[in-house]
Amino acid sequence: MTSLVFAEDSQPNYVVLPVEVRKAEIRVVEQVPPSISIPPHALAPFVGRPLLMDEMSGIPYGRALIGLGGESMWGQFNQFLATDLPASANGLYTTFRPGNEILDPASGQTLAVTAAFLGIARLDQNNDVAKLTLIESDQEVMVGDRLMPFHEAPPALALTPVRSNADIDAYVVQSPGSVGGSGSYSMVIISAGLEDGIDAGDILDVFSPGRQVLLTDQTSPVIRKGSGSCQPRRESLKIPGARLLGCKERAPSSRELTGRSSELIDLPEEKSGELIVYRAFDQVSFALLLEVNREIYVGDRVKAPRS
């Protein structure tokens, strides 16, 4: 055991702290929820590499001629010939294919033209007709596909989801990779972009167009058998029916409804899911569908979430 001995003339060293007297009261502390961000690597498997021909405007490009063995289509690690190649500082080229026009469903105006990223090729021999190897491939390259100098993209930023308050009335205009409807975690293109106040991270609602219910009443003759003193007699029996018409299903013609009364009732449009924008251009945006409760089709409307 150690003892602490002070000299007789030593002075205690102390600090006088301020004293605050508080009364009991209710204090409200605002809790700010932490912001959620989605890292780029989490999105990569779903979104691919979105391109528009607008990005290639004014950039010289070469043309794929044929596979080294005479193939008209080739994949990763295959060699091929190309012509009109512009110079590339690193000897690498992005291969791409012009896609389809993106049209505004309301006005018919061309908003943009898509481009499909195919892969990355390495220059092996540079002559008037150059020889290259496809070292990375998302899709097979075909005769006539284009090559431009490859530039390493800047590191992608994490997405911070935010419910958009942009005043838009847009549409799903393309669903790349989908044959029919699109489900959760599918990529779509919408007809709104930076000029409309849309930016990466915005969450928007998707609405399926209102459908119609066809109500019919068919009158069928029925002969009731007699029994005992009851004589047989003819009666009319009304058979009601109802059918929900699909979005692309036409209403039956009057000829098809001969002998039946009918009524068409319009149903209001219905929210079918949400999407998050991950890349916005001037007039269009690439988005990823989140949770959906029915398939999303080209022509479905896109609006800011209702408050």
DSSP string, 29-60: ----PPPP-B-HHHHHHHH---EEGGGGTT--
Structure tokens at 51: 């391109």
- Please give the average per-residue pLDDT across 228-247, as a whole number: 63
d(CA 168, CA 249): 28
pTM of the model: 0.72
Positive/negative CA dihedral, 268, 271, 272, 275: positive
Helices (H), the chain: 40-47
Angle at 35 between CA 32 and CA 39, to 5 degrees: 170
What are the start-end ranges of the E strands in the chain? 51-52, 62-67, 73-74, 79-83, 92-103, 110-125, 129-137, 141-142, 146-149, 162-163, 169-174, 187-190, 202-208, 212-224, 233-245, 260-266, 270-280, 285-292, 301-303
Rg of the chain over all Cα atoms, to the nearest angstrom: 34
Retrieve residue 12's tokens.
Answer: 């205690």
Greater confidence, 276 or 229? 276
Q: Flag whether pLDDT at 236 surpasses 60.
A: no
Q: What is the CATH number of domain 162-210+269-303?
A: 2.40.30
The strands making up 260-266's β-sheet, listed across from edge to edge, are 233-245, 212-224, 260-266
Residue 12 has pLDDT above 80, yes or no: no
* pLDDT given for residue 7 in this prediction: 60
Task: Give the whole-angstrom CA distance, residue 47 versus residue 208.
Answer: 23
Residue 262 confidence (pLDDT) above 70: no
Q: Is the pLDDT of residue 248 over 80?
A: no
pLDDT at 212 exceeding the cut of 80? no
Question: Which of 92, 94, 83, 89 is closest to 116 using CA atoms?
Answer: 94
C-alpha neighbours within 13 Å on the C-beta side of residue 273? 23
Q: What is the reported pLDDT for 258?
A: 53
> Which is more confidently placed, 3 or 181?
181
pLDDT digits (tens, 9 = 90+) for 144-197: 999 999 988 777 778 899 999 899 999 999 998 777 789 999 999 999 999 999
Reply yes or no on whether the pLDDT at 6 is more than 90: no
135, 77 Cβ separation under 8 angstroms? yes
CB 216 within 8 A of CB 258: no
pLDDT band (50, 70, 90) for residue 250? low
Burial of 68 (0-12, 13-18, 19+ CB in 10 A): middle
Q: Give the model confidence (pLDDT) of 107-142 as tens digits.
A: 889 999 999 999 999 999 999 999 999 999 999 999
Asked if residues 80 and 95 have their Cβ atoms less than 8 Å apart, the reply is: no
Confidence tier at 35 by pLDDT (50, 70, 90): low
Residue 154's pLDDT is 78
- For the chain, the domains span 46-149, 162-210+269-303, 211-224+233-244+260-267
Query: Does 260 have pLDDT greater than 80?
Result: no
What average pLDDT does this structure show over 289-293? Answer: 92
